[in-house]
Structures are given as structure tokens and as C-alpha cells.
Amino acid sequence: MTASTLYEIPLTLIDGTETTFDRFRGKTVLVVNVASKCGFTPQYAGLEALYERYRDEGLVVLGLPCNQFLGQEPGDEADIASFCELNYGVTFPLTEKVDVRGKHQHPLYAELTRFKSGPIPGLVKWNFEKFLVNRAGQVIDRFASTVEPESEPIVRAIEQALSREVA
């Protein structure tokens, strides 16, 4: 995967805005498949805290709602946006609902899951898996659903990514 490939991928934000991953060029992006009715749903609070803490330094948290794991994201985009704002004060960008695996896998996840390092290579296993993309558009880390957003491994990886200049 090249950064240019990643930046060409189309995205539809939760409000219907059509864009591409290029809107995050030069930023460090934590990409997370999210769901409103999952045991990991409280991680929205930690994701928002990370975004608030590091956004001025160039971090973007990008949530992609997904209903592929036990139907844990059943609502439409308006329901999802409302839930996230009312329950967790989410201000980071969210996309429309997507598939993160299978026949209709979103192109972003087709690229992200090519990242083979770490304990969970390959397909997304569950909600709230996290991929860290550096300022140069390269996937540099991946974290399991069980790794809390504000945990030391994620914070360290984000801080290291933010401290590096774009190549």
C-alpha cells in the first residue's frame, strides 16, 4: 500500500458529505470501527479524550460505524450521530456505516488490513479495532478491541507519530 493509494479512497461522512481520505493528509489518524451497542462502546469516551488532547498537534480520530459484528450498530446515520453526541460528546469525524470485512468491505479497510505487523494481522476481528496512520499516510500500528484508547501503548504510539515530521 502506498500513501497515495490510501489518500485516494473515497469516504462519506456521517452527514452525507462526500470526501476522500486525502482530507487527512499530513495528519496522524487513528481509524476505529465503532458500534453503539457493543461491550466496547464506552471506548467512545477515551477516543474523544484522545482527540481533544492531541488534535491541535495533528491527531484525527476517525470512527467508521459498522454493523457486521452481532448487529451492534443497528441505527441509521442520524441515530448513530445523535447517540455519539448525546452519550459521549463525540466531536471527531464519523463516516456513514460501512463493512470492514467481507464481500462489501470498504476500500479503506481493504488497505488498512494489509498491515501485517502486530498481534492481529489480517481481517478485522471485532468492533473498536484501531489502526494508526502516520502523517505520511502509512499504517504504522494496529491495536485490538481490548486495548483502551487512553492506554499507554496507544498514547505512546500516537505521541511518537505526532513527533515525527512528514517524510
Residues involved in catalysis: 38
DSSP state of 97: -
Contact yes or no for 37/80 (Cβ under 8 A): no
HEC per residue, 40-91: CCCHHHHHHHHHHHHHHHCEEEEEEECCCCCCCCCCCHHHHHHHHHHHHCCC
Q: How far is CA 32 from the centre of its chain?
A: 3
Host H or E run for residue 30: strand 28-34
Q: How far is CA 26 from the centre of its chain?
A: 16
| Euclidean distance between CA atoms 53 and 49, whole angstroms | 6
- CB-based burial label for 29 (10 Å; 0-12, 13-18, 19+): buried
